[in-house]
Amino acid sequence: MAGGATECCRHIVCEGCPVLLVIDEKRRFIFRVERGRVQGSDRGTVRHDDLIGLRYGSRVRLSSGIYALVLQPRLVDYMERGLRRRSQVIYPKDHGLILMLLDIEPGNRVLEIGVGSGYTTIVLARAVGPEGKVYSYEIRRDMFETARRNLETVGLLDRVELKHRDARLGVDEENLDAAVVDMPDPWAVLPVLHRALRPGAGVVFFLPAVNQVARLLAALELHGGWAETRVYEVLLREYEPRSDALRPRTTMIAHTGYLVYTRRIERDMGQHQDTDKGG
């Protein structure tokens, strides 16, 4: 589970266990329990020692007298509250479709180009399981270090090989099961992807602007090694969970980016022999 917690943390809070402390909708805190420490907020404090031995799903009384809910943090909780963020990230609403399109399952070997803050890396690492592996390439040192720290936070660094390199110059891996690309010029890595993926494997490109999508589609057609191409935009509307006034929330995470999905096929080398050089 996220956080790399021990077996006892599945039901009972123990020292070293991760906790999501929910005071209200705006006050949600993720931390690991350490004896002698205190979790503070503007609505009161709680001693970590008072959390040890509680069952997840219990309530604990804060110093102010109000109660807070003690929960086991989910992956989405870490993404919302518990991870460092240095760039725009792919949202959970898009991650779900990415996993389905690529058919990611335990044991898969997945390529990621453009790590950013590591949010997608974490989702992929969870999906491939302990027997799988994610090979992640990031050109920026600050992003590379942020992603490493975030992977350590959720206890999934051992499932990822992070590489501070420009994937446009090539990757080390071959015969991979899937790929995710999040970079401004993904058409530049089409030859690299084609060499790295097994026949029939899928790749999803995340792009924020429609002109990038159009250029990528043109490059896929020119390259000739891709088929079953689709373009998606995921919109998610959340509702106020009130039985007396059920309605949509006034704010909405609407456009985050476009997802371009395609699959690797064998190329007609006579027709496309020059495209690897030009991108």
Please report, for the chain, how many H helices and E strands are present, in that order: 9, 15
Question: What does the pLDDT read at residue 79?
Answer: 86
Q: Evaluate if residue 105 carries a pLDDT over 60.
A: yes
- Let me know: does 223 contact 191? Beta carbons within 8 Å: yes
Q: Evaluate if residue 277 carries a pLDDT over 80.
A: no
CA atoms within 13 A on the CB side of 182: 27
pLDDT band at 166 (very low <50, low <70, confident <90, very high): very high
pLDDT band at 279 (very low <50, low <70, confident <90, very high): very low
Question: What does the pLDDT read at residue 276?
Answer: 55
Q: Evaluate if residue 5 carries a pLDDT over 60.
A: no
Predicted confidence (pLDDT) per residue in 145-159, tens digit: 999 999 999 999 999
pLDDT band at 8 (very low <50, low <70, confident <90, very high): low
pLDDT band at 4 (very low <50, low <70, confident <90, very high): very low
Question: What does the pLDDT read at residue 115?
Answer: 95
In our burial notation (b when 16+ CB lie closer than 10 A, e otherwise), range 148-158 reads bebbebbbbbe
| Of residues 234, 208, 204, the one with CA closest to residue 112 | 204
Predicted confidence (pLDDT) per residue in 21-36, tens digit: 999 988 999 999 999 9
**Is there a binding annotation on residue 138?**
yes
> Which domains are seen in the chain, by residue range?
7-76 (3.10.330.20), 83-278 (3.40.50.150)
- Rounded (to 5) percent helix, strand, coil in the chain: 30, 25, 40
Tokens of 221: 């057609």
**Is there a binding annotation on residue 50?**
no
pLDDT band at 9 (very low <50, low <70, confident <90, very high): low
- Let me know: does 275 contact 224? Beta carbons within 8 Å: yes
Question: What does the pLDDT read at residue 36?
Answer: 92
Gap between the Cα atoms of 268 and 247, Å rounded: 54
Question: What does the pLDDT read at residue 3?
Answer: 47
Q: Evaluate if residue 271 carries a pLDDT over 70.
A: no
Q: Evaluate if residue 10 carries a pLDDT over 80.
A: no
| Of residues 37, 179, 38, 158, the one with CA closest to residue 114 | 179
Gap between the Cα atoms of 214 and 232, Å rounded: 13
Q: Evaluate if residue 136 carries a pLDDT over 60.
A: yes
